[in-house]
Amino acid sequence: MELIDGKKISDLIKDEIAKEVGKIIAANGKVPHLAAVLVGDDPASQTYVASKERSCKEVGFISSLYKYHAGISEAELLKAIDFLNNDDEIDGFIVQLPLPKHISGQKIIEAIDPKKDVDGFHPVNLGNMLLGIPGFLPATPYGIMQLIERYNIETEGKNCVILGRSNIVGTPMSVLLSRNTNPGNCTVTLCHSKTQNLSDITLQADILIAAIGKPEFVTADMVKKGAIVIDVGIHRIPDAGTKSGFRLKGDVKFDEVSKKCSFITPVPGGVGPMTIVGLLMNTLKASKNKV
Ligand code: GUN
């Protein structure tokens, strides 16, 4: 079994991005600028946004944070989005999800200018992805495609089983891996909560992508020997024995599945760091598209 080291690949790509930023500065170009919108005080969202800001600094981007209290109205948040859409200093921005229940996430996403939608969540960007038109890919699928590419994982003709049909991971991954591209050309099966005989299907997978949102859901008896396993899950499991009070677990029971597969992404240090890199790559693209 070989670990797919997302931390290592993300560091490598961040170095490449930092070099590009150096070139942009030398040419008197505009330094890429990513803004993040954070509503409320969800601890996980705060951690993700802080990590995105840290990564921006590492590669030499400008980052800014727009924080709002959980009680902000939808209309006020839409005004903030309008401001960011029209601020020429900002190349791209994200609205950290989830949003409070009284705000429609879909309405907010649709209000983002697709040219600044570096999360790749806007219907225009998702439509472009479906049609193979260049645009912003959702950050996590973009990061996973980079992992597959940089580990030279053969995908053509392989059976790929995806667990979870979310708009931001499962469904886009099913599109990207079934396209006539490299990586791509897989025969994809997209499984969800209504799928029957799940293990029969997962046992056929040469490539298994778990994005189901249930800690340690995938067990060794569900995995074909020698499969490639990509774990998108990230769960905080209470653990009084750790300093933080929790441990991170994925959607895959790592200890047993890692003994059976050929490649696996760990949690943490697998897909997580690659999501941020996907966001940075999109932001670099957004800043270049503007010049
Ligand atoms: N919440 C969980 N994942 C993401 C993500 O990739 N982008 C945003 N904006 N919010 C998230």
Atom of ligand 1 nearest to the CA of 45: 1
Kindly report the CATH number assigned to the domain that includes residue 265: 3.40.50.720
The rounded distance, in Å, linking the Cα atoms of 182 and 79 is 41
- For every residue of 238-273, DSSP letters joined together read E-TTSSSSEEEE-SB-HHHHTTT-SEE--SSSSHHH
145 with 105, same domain: the answer is no
Question: Is 117 in contact with 92 (CB distance < 8 Å)?
Answer: yes
Q: Mind listing the pLDDT tens digit for each residue in 89-108?
A: 999 999 999 999 999 999 99
Predicted pLDDT of residue 216: 98
The rounded distance, in Å, linking the Cα atoms of 27 and 289 is 16
Q: Mind listing the pLDDT tens digit for each residue in 204-232?
A: 999 999 999 999 999 999 999 999 999 99
The rounded distance, in Å, linking the Cα atoms of 202 and 38 is 37
147 with 188, same domain: the answer is yes
Q: Who lines ligand 1 at CB under 6 A?
A: 94-97, 119, 139-140, 275
The rounded distance, in Å, linking the Cα atoms of 265 and 227 is 12
168 with 240, same domain: the answer is yes
Active site residues: 52, 96, 119
93 with 152, same domain: the answer is no
Residue 158 sits at φ, ψ, to 5 deg, of -80, 155
Residue 162 sits at φ, ψ, to 5 deg, of -110, 130
Query: Would residue 203 count as lying in a domain?
Result: yes
Query: Would residue 202 count as lying in a domain?
Result: yes
Query: Would residue 122 count as lying in a domain?
Result: no
Question: What is the CA(71)–ligand 1 centre distance, in A?
Answer: 20
Predicted pLDDT of residue 291: 58
Our mutation pick for probing the ligand 1 site, out of 38, 96, 116, 277, counting the most ligand atoms within 8 A of Cβ, is: 96
**Residue 249 is encoded by which pair of tokens?**
């677990």
150 with 251, same domain: the answer is yes
Question: What is the CA(276)–ligand 1 centre distance, in A?
Answer: 10
Our mutation pick for probing the ligand 1 site, out of 118, 168, 281, counting the most ligand atoms within 8 A of Cβ, is: 168
Question: What is the CA(291)–ligand 1 centre distance, in A?
Answer: 27
Predicted pLDDT of residue 289: 87
pTM of the complete model: 0.96
146 with 104, same domain: the answer is no
The number of distinct structural domains making up the chain is: 2
Q: Residue with the nearest Cα to atom 8 of ligand 1? A: 96
Kindly report the CATH number assigned to the domain that includes residue 89: 3.40.50.10860
Q: Tell me which residue range forms the domain holding 234.
A: 139-271
202 with 93, same domain: the answer is no
Q: Residue with the nearest Cα to atom 11 of ligand 1? A: 97
Of 58, 79, 113, the residue that ends a domain is: 113
169 with 222, same domain: the answer is yes
Residue ranges, the chain, pLDDT below 50: none
Q: State the distance between the two ends of the chain, measured CA to CA, in whole angstroms.
A: 45
Of 78, 113, 148, the residue that ends a domain is: 113
